[in-house]
Amino acid sequence: MTMSSAVRPVFRAVVATVVPEAEQLDESGWRELETLAEAALRDRPPAMVRQLQLFLRSIQWLAVLRHGRRFTSLDPERRVRVLTHLQDHSIEIIRCGFWGLRALAFLGYYGRAEALRAIGYSPDPRGWEARR
């Protein structure tokens, strides 16, 4: 999936709701995150990628139905409510769609070396030797 200009703002708004620390990313941080997400989708079936893009567009308009504004224009609290609605939806395929999007957000955010440093994850192939 190449993050088209139409869905990029929604994707970023979703990521920043799923991982609030993402709000602090600068443009190069966002580019890195999006590159990781795009790479993870490269070998997935095209239909799945299309569904994901459609899901992102639906989130934008679901927010209009529920709160009178597009998702990207909502405050953080209302964004959380929209995504929580999807996460707990009574229809399984909608929950699955959100799960996939959420996974992609985590992959992009926690796939970056900077995020690993920030959370204190520092494995070393030398294992015990590196700690002693």
Partner 1 sequence: MTRRSYDIVIIGSGAGGGTVAQELSPLCREGARIAVLEKGPKLHDEEFTGRELEMAMALYEDGGGFLTAERTMTLAFGSAYGGSTAVYTGTSLEPPQRILERWNVPQLTFADVVQRARKFAAENSVHFLEEGLINENNRLFVEGCRRLDFEARQFPVNLKGCRGSSLCNLGCPNRAKQGTDRVQLPRAERNGVEVITRCEVLRIGEKTIDARVCGKPAGGKGEPSPWEPGEYQIDAKVIVVCGGAVNSPALLMRSGLARTLPRLGHGFTCHPAIIMVAEHDRDVTTFVGHPKSFYLDQFAERDRFLLETCAYFPFTTAKAMSGFGAEHSRFLRAFPRLQMILVLACDEVDEHNRVGVDRSGRPVVHYRFTPEVRRGLVEGAIASAKIFFAAGAARVHLPVAEAPTIERAEAGRLKQIAEHPDFKPGKLSISAAHLQGGCAMGRGPADSVTDGYGRVHGIPWLFVADSSLFPDSLEINPYLTIMALADRVAETIRQEARTLL
Binding site for partner 1 (CB under 8 A): 17-21, 36, 39-40, 43-44, 80, 83, 87-88, 92-96, 98-100, 102-103, 105-107, 109-111, 115-116, 118-131
C-beta closer to partner 1: residue 31 or 88: 88
* Least distance to partner 1, CB of residue 106, Å: 4
Q: How far is the CB of 80 from partner 1 (least distance, A)?
A: 6
- Considering Cα of 68, then 71, then 72, then 76, what sign does the dihedral take? positive
Nearer to partner 1, 17 or 60 (CB): 17
